Amino acid sequence: MRRIITATVQNSSGVLNRITGMLSKRAFNIESITVGTTEIEGISKMTFVVEIPDANKIEQLTKQLNKQIDVLKVNDITEKAIVQRELALIKVGSTSASRAEIQGVIEPFRARVLDVSRDSLVIEVTGKPDKIEALIDLLHPYGIKDMTRTGVTAFPRGKQPRQVQEFTLSV
Amino acid sequence: MKTQTETHTQPVEQKLRTGADLFVQSLVEEKVDTVFGYPGGAVLPIYDALYRADAPFQHILCRHEQGLIHAAEGYARVTGKPGVVIATSGPGATNLITGITDAMMDSLPVVVFTGQVSTAVIGSDAFQEADVIGLTTPITKHNYQVTDIKDLPRITREAFHIATTGRPGPVVVDIPKNIAQEITDKTFDTSFHLPGYQPTVKPNPLQIRRLAEALAKAKKPVLLAGAGVHFADASEELKAFAEKFELPVTTTLLGLGSFPGGHEQALGMAGMHGSYSANMAIYEADLLINIGARFDDRLTGAIQHFAPEAAVAHIDIDPAEIGKNIETKIPVVGDAKEALTALLDIDIECTDHSSWSEETMNNKKEYPFWFERSDDLISPQWLIESVHRETDGHAIVTTDVGQHQMWAAQFYQFNSPHKWVTSGGLGTMGFGLPAAIGAQLGRPEETVVAIVGDGGFQMTMQEMAVVKQHNLPIKVIIVNNEALGMVRQWQEKFYEERYSASLMTENPDFIKLAEGFGVKGIRVSKETDVPSVIKEVFQHDGPVLVDARVQKLDKVFPMVAPGKGNHEMIGVKQCEE
């Protein structure tokens, strides 16, 4: 099961190390982590995407996260109505002849060109991970020279549908 | 940003103080009475402050940092107070790693202060630099590196608070040398706020109610008591609860003594080398109430066979333990004492389960722990029984890890809490002797016996020097079978007697060794000599080391083979009477 989990943490030194260390020690497979500050000084928020085999393990993950002294709040938002975004920068090979074609490919994805050189383009795209995957697929034939992705950052939408199947902990 | 924590009410005559002075002051304020420490370059400012200060605590210099931390664990285990350790940077800190992990696994409140190189050279691979935070993050409840003198007093307080509250555990505070040397004329605010750390002590009444309802319906209820009962000081409540509802009680290895071993409802220890009656009670139970145990795999055996018929209720102050290893139907997050008190307050009409109680007690009578006496060589189990008889079950017993540990768990009957000091979770050899030192310092009025193996003893035997230096009347009994006995047992049973590197045929002369340390040494090799030797040992007013030559090939039985269920114990014998 792919879960999206957010953790609000105190911005003390080593907190990221502490949390990723705990996850790796307990054999949780982290797909991505994003971290950034929040509107409150000294408080950061992390978004994890984690691949977990079963429900028990999800509960264990959230409990172990909660147990960390620096962690203020943990939320498994996988089942909620959420906004999730990832940013990717993709450097793709191009010639003057293919440039316009690539432009046409990326346009429906609302991606944009950040840099142009004689033989490459740098493209910026944000969106859900599957949208980014789709664009990468389309760009492959042109030759991807470099790529970097931020991983997912996410939080619940302002309004939740009434019938949200929330993941409930037994404790 | 200007710190708001500085107060400006300092009297003018206030002397200038160093970070090290503030640190020593913090220990005094925490009412520390014993510090286990070893000096070195990075903690010289702290040692100088200790020298200058008229600190109301004793400093114990062990001979190796591993000795420090195990001694602190022993101290913490028998007193319930935090064990305090000071070690220097680099090798001083890394030598503590085993003990810190041990304290983490067994939830012992230990506060470790390590020296660190100066902040200016941190990260430069300076002399005796080690990344203590990186090294200890996975093995501590929490850790800190002090980077500003103003934080030092507050962090020290937080460290003690975190180590001793909730589920206890080790906390490391890394203090760079320049912070310890820095001079200040200020007093710093020590108040702290840890919004992410608010342990649930009082259990939720609804959870208690669910447990009570399950208990009322249960036909085959069993209690399982773990170390959490010790930490919560809940032995009285446990006994009252068990007696009120006539529940059979089993314990984990670390839970020994939380319920009187001689009590008629006591089934003894469960698990790999537990009693047949304890394991069968859990196997057949329809309600298993776990109080402060974490379902270690040495307790559960193959989990598909662990309490297969039972609804599991689990009382634990650490919510992350609930459901971690065993599916739990009734979780109760909270302190064991609070939970048991709440349960005692509820009126429950229980289903009659007297036939169940009778069945479990019959098992206890019919399948006790057993061993074969011999007329010549000493049976290790009998040796331990003799120690029990001589001390009337009231001694504090520390052990290393292996066969002697299991025999001690089986044949020394613990009737009161805080008497059993052993490395359960990590299984650390070399634990017994230093832990005995800590235990004896923490409880000077008690008899302390270190039952160790010839293997484990040789890992930390240099601490005999501390025993001598402080004339601690510890009785060290080496259960000497000239082997890593448990390793050999497994090699015999599961590796077709290929005794790879497990035989210790070139042991030192332990008697000469004892004498070298200035300690009385006694060798005993005949069964018939045991009673008089044991008497002599406990009458001697000071430390004694006994080299007890036991039968070499004795094994710990009964046993659950790895991968098997607890109901498939081997080496169970029916009582012949």
Check if the beta carbon of residue B448 is closer than 8 Å to that of residue B398: yes
pLDDT average, residue stretch B83-95: 98
- The total of other beta-carbon atoms located within 10 Å of residue B101's CB is 19
Q: What is the model's pTM?
A: 0.94
pLDDT band at A13 (very low <50, low <70, confident <90, very high): confident
Q: Nearest CA of chain A to the CA of B142: how many Å?
A: 7
Q: Is A2 exposed, middle or buried (0-12, 13-18, 19+ CB in 10 A)?
A: exposed
pLDDT average, residue stretch B139-157: 97
DSSP H helix total and E strand total for chain A? 4, 9
| CA-to-CA dists, residue B460 to A28, A59, B170, angstroms | 36, 41, 21
More confident residue, A165 or B443: B443
pLDDT average, residue stretch B413-439: 97
Quote the pLDDT of residue B7. 46
Quote the pLDDT of residue B1. 39
Q: Could you confirm whether B198 is annotated as catalytic?
A: no
- Is the pLDDT at B444 greater than 70? The verdict is yes
pLDDT digits (tens, 9 = 90+) for A21-78: 999 999 999 999 999 999 999 999 999 999 998 888 899 999 999 999 999 999 999 9
Using DSSP bridges, classify how beta strands B266-269 and B249-251 pair: parallel, antiparallel or unpaired: parallel
Q: Do A25 and B147 touch (CB under 8 A)?
A: no
The partner residue sitting opposite A18, judged by closest CB among B137, B162, B194, is B137
pLDDT average, residue stretch A116-120: 95
Which strands form B330-333's sheet, in the order they lie side by side? B266-269, B249-251, B221-225, B287-291, B311-316, B330-333
The partner residue sitting opposite A63, judged by closest CB among B138, B162, B319, is B319
Quote the pLDDT of residue A37. 95
pLDDT average, residue stretch B125-146: 97
pLDDT band at B4 (very low <50, low <70, confident <90, very high): very low
Please give the DSSP secondary-structure letter assigned to residue B55: -
Q: Do B196 and A56 touch (CB under 8 A)?
A: no
Between CA B153 and CA B20 the distance in angstroms is: 10
- Is the pLDDT at B406 greater than 80? The verdict is yes
Quote the pLDDT of residue A161. 82
pLDDT average, residue stretch B382-399: 96
Check if the beta carbon of residue B449 is closer than 8 Å to that of residue B473: no
Q: What is the mean pLDDT of chain B?
A: 95
pLDDT average, residue stretch B480-498: 96
Q: Nearest CA of chain A to the CA of B145: how many Å?
A: 9
Catalytic one among B57, B81, B128, B538? B128
pLDDT digits (tens, 9 = 90+) for B223-282: 999 999 999 999 999 999 999 999 999 999 999 999 999 999 999 999 999 999 999 999
- Is the pLDDT at A171 greater than 70? The verdict is no
pLDDT band at B184 (very low <50, low <70, confident <90, very high): very high
**Coil, helix or strand at residue A11:** coil
Q: Do B319 and A71 touch (CB under 8 A)?
A: no
More confident residue, A69 or B11: A69
Best residue in B137, B290, B330 for a mutation probing chain A (most A CBs within 10 Å): B137
Using DSSP bridges, classify how beta strands B17-18 and B183-184 pair: parallel, antiparallel or unpaired: antiparallel
Could you tell me how many CB contacts below 8 A there are between chain A and chain B?
Answer: 52
Between CA B217 and CA B475 the distance in angstroms is: 48
Quote the pLDDT of residue B2. 39
Between CA B420 and CA B533 the distance in angstroms is: 23
Using DSSP bridges, classify how beta strands B110-116 and B170-176 pair: parallel, antiparallel or unpaired: parallel
| CA-to-CA dists, residue A4 to A32, A119, A152, angstroms | 10, 38, 8
Quote the pLDDT of residue B489. 96
Check if the beta carbon of residue B339 is closer than 8 Å to that of residue B204: no
Quote the pLDDT of residue B577. 59
Question: What is the ipTM, given to two decimal places?
Answer: 0.90
The partner residue sitting opposite B320, judged by closest CB among A9, A10, A67, is A67
Quote the pLDDT of residue B14. 59
pLDDT average, residue stretch B147-151: 97
Residue B77, sorted as left (phi over 0), alpha (psi -120 to 50) or beta, turns out to be alpha
> B residues 35-64 near A, CB within 8 Å?
none
pLDDT digits (tens, 9 = 90+) for B519-573: 999 999 999 999 999 999 999 999 999 999 999 999 999 999 999 999 999 999 9
| CA-to-CA dists, residue B210 to A171, B237, B312, B320, angstroms | 13, 19, 12, 20
Q: Nearest CA of chain B to the CA of A12: how many Å?
A: 10
More confident residue, A13 or B122: B122
Q: Nearest CA of chain A to the CA of B139: how many Å?
A: 10
